[in-house]
Amino acid sequence: MTAAAPPERTPPGPLQPLGRPAPGPAADEGLARRLRALACTAPLHDLDVRKANLAGEYSTYSMAEVALAAIDAITLAMDFDTGADHERVVGRLLPRVAAQAPGRPTAEHERVARWVLDNLINVGSVDRGFRAVYGTFGPEGAYVRRDYDFKLIEEVPGPGGGVWLRTTDEAVNVLVGALDTDVTSAQIAAEVKLDVLIARGRLADAQLAAEQARYRTVQYAETLRRTLESTRRDVRAVDWLHAVPDMIDEALAHIADRYRHENAILTNIRRARDEATATGHKLRAAELVDIVKDCIRRHTQLQSRLLEAGPLFRAEQDRQAFRPPAARAGTDLYGQLLAPLLTQPVERAVRVTDAWFARATGPRPPGAVRLTDLTELLLTPPVPREHLGAELPEPDLVATPDDSRFTEEQLTAALDLLRLPEDAPRRLSGLLADARRRDPELPHLVALLAVHAASPAVGTAYRQGEPRLLFAVDDGAQLTDDPDIGGADLVVGTALLDAAGMAAERTEGTA
């Protein structure tokens, strides 16, 4: 397939026969993979682009940084059978958000953290995921646009009916990359590296390695969790004679090994911590101790889960295994219906699910409405709800004095003055003189309105469907003879907004 690529790069004058119009699928596949990887980062970039749309001044916040911190926090909080709690993740983000804009109120920090988290989940969409479109060449050389759907943070049901957050593989790959390797060997490598680094006293590197080791530990626990969950669901699904005991033994041996290893590292770091003289070294070593302790805690947790698995399997086996074989064979609902169905295009599959739905739901007696019942129903007062919550206290309202600089009449007069015909713009100086004749206070307001019109909100006016818009342009002339107000003698005029034209050339609306 790659042999066809070089002639493709130099197109000769006459058209080539359409045998190989594009690089083969193999070359394209790599491209598609990279496009998808690129797409995974898009939501993070998008956050910083879209923060301008938030009502308020949020440009000081670095949203992508908060987002990465959120993915970090969730990945670390992912436990054996739970994910991260929504509120706690927000709590973990607050210090970072607060550090980005120390002067802002805490409520705003919390709003930013929630906004980032909601956008990473993509709360607005029904799938709660993201979609990127990219193009590939098919085997026949046809160019096909495809949808790539992915999630960064997914919401999973937790024990007790709660909703937990877990980071997806895509997110973990975006976060640390290259985690897509054999877990066991990668972990051994990381620990050997850690040992060496500590021995040489390079604690900064050691901390990085230890943190990576912890990510791997989390990923490892996640793999085991999924394994156990699926085996727990159906006893027949697993080979109880060989595979499961082997797997448990293997995992226990692995844990024992890691436990020894990490305890050794712990001893080493403790010594490094106590012997270190520089404050930075001491602090790093102390952090390392925490990280390794966390690793050990996770291993212990994993171990207890593994020990519980045995009795559970036996109980399930007792429940399910000793039942007499049935006389006749039924339909294999999974193998003959569900599994083949899932491979079909949704357009065709929906016919099968429709047929199932029509026949697998019981008869439902239709309601027969009698007018007398309906009248009674409509006249019945609603049943008072029992749980209405605490009674609201009567708000204590204090009338605030009206301390506006200008009155409503003055505003009306000023706006009246500025209602200029669209083909006759005027100088600010003339408007100020007119205003002064009406009311000595009015020029100030007119000047303010004119300055405000120097940068009109065209987009907003367009969205709100306003037909006309006040604008002001500075052509260099100065206000010279005004007693109160100085600065540029603006040219003030009215622009008519053309809805159809605006749609096409939105950006040129100020001209």
Partner 1 sequence: MTDTQRPPAAPATPADAADAARLVSFGLQPKISPARDAEYGGLLRRYQEEPPFARLADAVAAGLGLVVLEVSPRAGMAVAAAEDSVFAVRMGEYARRAATETADRFLHGLAHLAVAALAFPRPADLADDGYIGRVTVAGVEAFVRQACHRLAERAAAQGENTDPATDAPGLEAAWRVWSRRTATGATKDARRLAGSTTGIIGKAVAFLADAGFLQRTGDDAGGTYRTTARYQLQVRELAASSAMAELLALGVVPVGDGSGSLVPPTDDDALGLVPDAGLPFHG
Q: Which of residues 77-106 bind partner 1 (CB under 8 A)?
A: 86
Site string for partner 1, 346-375 (x = CB under 8 A): xxxxxxxxxxxxxxxxxxxxx---------
Q: Determine which residue in the list 100, 227, 301, 429 makes contact with partner 1, applying CB under 8 A.
A: 227
**Is residue 389 part of the contact set for partner 1 (CB under 8 A)?**
no
Question: Is the Cβ–Cβ distance between 96 and 69 less than 8 Å?
Answer: yes
Question: Is the Cβ–Cβ distance between 174 and 214 less than 8 Å?
Answer: no
For 362, list phi and psi in degrees, rounded to 5: -70, 170
Site string for partner 1, 104-133 (x = CB under 8 A): -----------------x-x--xxxx---x
| Cα 98–Cα 102–Cα 104 angle in degrees, nearest 5 | 90
- Which residues, 5 to 44, sit near partner 1 by CB under 8 A? 29, 32
Between 61 and 313, CB nearer to partner 1: 313
Window of 5-13, 229-237, 285-293, 439-447 that interacts with partner 1 by CB under 8 A? 229-237
Q: 133: part of which helix (H) or strand (E)?
A: strand 130-137
Between 283 and 352, CB nearer to partner 1: 352
Q: Determine which residue in the list 16, 336, 412, 478 makes contact with partner 1, applying CB under 8 A.
A: 336
Q: Alpha-carbon distance 167 to 40, whole Å? A: 13
Q: Determine which residue in the list 148, 259, 406, 462 makes contact with partner 1, applying CB under 8 A.
A: 148
Q: Determine which residue in the list 237, 256, 374, 457 makes contact with partner 1, applying CB under 8 A.
A: 237
**Is residue 230 part of the contact set for partner 1 (CB under 8 A)?**
yes
> CA nearest 23: which of 44, 39, 8?
8
Q: In the numeric block, which tokens belong to residue 318? A: 């007792």
Instruction: Indicate left, alpha or beta for 389 from its phi (over 0: left) and psi (-120 to 50: alpha).
Output: left
Q: Shortest Cβ distance from residue 388 to partner 1 (Å)?
A: 15
Q: Alpha-carbon distance 41 to 34, whole Å? A: 11
- Which residues, 195 to 214, sit near partner 1 by CB under 8 A? none
Q: Shortest Cβ distance from residue 80 to partner 1 (Å)?
A: 15
Q: Shortest Cβ distance from residue 232 to partner 1 (Å)?
A: 9
Pairing of strands 130-137, 143-150: antiparallel
Q: Determine which residue in the list 6, 19, 177, 335 makes contact with partner 1, applying CB under 8 A.
A: 335
**Is residue 167 part of the contact set for partner 1 (CB under 8 A)?**
no
Q: Which residues pair with 427 in a beta bridge?
A: 491
Q: Determine which residue in the list 1, 38, 42, 156 makes contact with partner 1, applying CB under 8 A.
A: 156
| Cα 108–Cα 112–Cα 117 angle in degrees, nearest 5 | 145
**What are the CA-CA distances from residue 510 to residues 139, 489, 492, 497 (Å)?**
49, 19, 13, 10
- Which residues, 447 to 506, sit near partner 1 by CB under 8 A? none
Q: Determine which residue in the list 196, 312, 338, 477 makes contact with partner 1, applying CB under 8 A.
A: 338
**Is residue 177 part of the contact set for partner 1 (CB under 8 A)?**
no
Q: Alpha-carbon distance 82 to 286, whole Å? A: 27
3-state SS string for 18-49: CCCCCCCHHHHHHHHHHHHHHHHHHHHHHHHH
Q: Shortest Cβ distance from residue 29 to partner 1 (Å)?
A: 6
Q: In the numeric block, which tokens belong to residue 189? A: 């490598």
**Is residue 345 part of the contact set for partner 1 (CB under 8 A)?**
yes
Separation of CA 194 from chain center = 33
Question: Is the Cβ–Cβ distance between 141 and 4 less than 8 Å?
Answer: no
**Is residue 430 part of the contact set for partner 1 (CB under 8 A)?**
no
Q: Report how many residues bind partner 1 under the rule CB under 8 A.
A: 93
**Is residue 189 part of the contact set for partner 1 (CB under 8 A)?**
no
Q: Shortest Cβ distance from residue 243 to partner 1 (Å)?
A: 3
Q: Shortest Cβ distance from residue 335 to partner 1 (Å)?
A: 3
**Is residue 310 part of the contact set for partner 1 (CB under 8 A)?**
no
**Is residue 388 part of the contact set for partner 1 (CB under 8 A)?**
no
